[in-house]
């Protein structure tokens, strides 16, 4: 960036500042979907409601996503120490776990669909699918970024001293994880308990 060579006013890296700024606004994004979900949690129009959730299954995929944050931070740690080889390994591991999570979500969606819950069924169904779907989209974008980071580090475009790049993608990835921490509790666990 033009100013990378110029010192910055706050002594912060532009890209990190930009990412944090963007993440702050993402709360407004997910918050609106979560609100719609909470509003419609019992509005099932005769179709299936929260009892359809398979908590043990979702717990496992949530756990996978949570652990991907560990590999992500390890990737950054490796990069920060200039160890590109290990960094690539952890990046792949992270992307892989993300893919497992997404696979779980696809599986979950198809099961729900077969059990009679589809997006056009009720406001509950719409808000569930769109909320979790948008989270899934974020995971997907994260995987794309991880893979491009992987590819670029192979071709030498990402260098050992450029760990800000890994850090940035990491911030995004952790954020997506954090959002899932909230979704898992607010969307899955609490309603399920309240219903049972």
Partner 1 sequence: MSTSSETKPLRPAQETGLLSWLGTTDHKRIGVMYFFTTLVFFALGGAESGLLRAQLAQAEQNLLTEEIYNQVFTMHGITMVFLVIMPLSAAFFNYLIPLMIGARDVAFPRLNAFSYWVYLFGGIFLYSSFLLGGAPNGSWVGYAPLASDSVSNMGFYAIGLQILGISSLAAAVNFIVTILNMRAPGMTFMRMPVFVWMALVTNFLLLFAIPVIAVALFMLQFDTLFGAQFFQPGSGGDPILYQHLFWLFGHPEVYIMILPAMGIVSEILPVASKKPLFGYAAVVFAGAAIGFIGFGVWAHHMFTSAIGPVARSAFALSTMFIAVPTGIKIFNWVFTMWGGKLKFTTPMLFSIGFVSMFTIGGLSGVTHAIVPHNAQQHDTYYVVAHFHYVLFGGALFGLIAGIYFWFPKVTGKMMSEKLGKLHFWTWLLGFNLTFGPMHMSGLLGQPRRTAVLPGELGSTVELYNLLSTAGVVVLTGSALVFLYNLLHSIKRGEESGLDPWDARTLEWLTASPPKHHNFDKIPTVTHRDEFWHRKYAEDESGMPISVPAGASEDHDGEDDPDEHIHMPDNSLWPFIMCIAFLPFGYGLVFLNPWLFGLGVLWMVVGYFGWIVEPLAEGDDDDVPDDVHDRPTVGATTH
Partner 2 sequence: MEDTEADASQGHHPTPREYVNIAIMLAILTALEVSTYFVDFGRIAIPLLIILMTIKFIMVASFFMHLKFDSKLFGRMLYGGLILALGLYAVTLIILFFERAPSA
102 with 143: CB under 8 angstroms?
yes
Which residues lie near partner 2 (CB under 8 A)? 9-12, 16-17, 20-21, 23-28, 30-32, 34-35, 38-39, 55-56, 59, 62-63, 66-67, 69-70, 72-74, 77, 80, 167, 170-171, 174-175, 177-178, 181-182, 184-186, 189-190, 192-194
Nearer to partner 2, 20 or 107 (CB): 20
Please, what is the minimum distance in Å from the beta carbon of residue 146 to partner 2?
15
User: Of the listed pieces 49-57, 116-124, 172-180, 183-191, which binds partner 1 according to CB under 8 A?
Assistant: 116-124
Give CA–CA dist 123/114, Å, rounded: 18
Helices 55-80 & 84-114 angle (0-180, nearest 10) = 160
Quick note: the x/- pattern for partner 1 over 28-67, rule CB under 8 A, is xx--xx--x--xx--xxx----------------------
Nearer to partner 2, 113 or 174 (CB): 174
Burial readout 51-73 (b: 16 or more C-beta within 10 A, e: otherwise): ebbeeeebeebbebbbebbebbb
Nearer to partner 1, 55 or 86 (CB): 86
Strands (E), 125-167: none
- Examine residue 152 and tell whether it contacts partner 1 (CB under 8 A): yes
68 with 173: CB under 8 angstroms?
yes
Nearer to partner 2, 23 or 100 (CB): 23
181 with 66: CB under 8 angstroms?
yes
């Amino acid at each position: 960036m033009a100013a990378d060579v110029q010192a910055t006013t706050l002594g912060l890296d532009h890209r990190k500042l930009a990412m944090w700024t963007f993440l702050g606004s993402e709360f407004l994004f997910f918050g609106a979907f979560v609100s719609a979900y909470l509003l419609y949690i019992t509005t099932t129009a005769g179709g299936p409601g929260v009892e359809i959730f398979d908590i043990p299954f979702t717990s496992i995929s949530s756990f996978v996503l949570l652990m991907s944050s560990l590999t992500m931070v390890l990737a950054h740690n490796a990069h920060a120490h200039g160890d590109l080889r290990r960094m690539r390994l952890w990046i792949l591991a992270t992307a892989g776990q993300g893919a497992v999570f997404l696979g779980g979500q696809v599986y979950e969606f198809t099961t729900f669909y077969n059990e009679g819950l589809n997006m056009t069924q009720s406001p509950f169904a719409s808000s569930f699918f769109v909320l979790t779907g948008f989270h899934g989209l974020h995971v997907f974008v994260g995987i794309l970024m991880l893979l491009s980071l992987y590819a670029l580090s192979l071709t030498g475009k990402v260098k050992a001293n450029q760990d800000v790049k890994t850090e940035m993608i990491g911030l995004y990835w952790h954020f997506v994880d954090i959002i899932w921490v909230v979704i898992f509790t607010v969307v899955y666990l609490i309603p399920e308990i309240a219903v049972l």
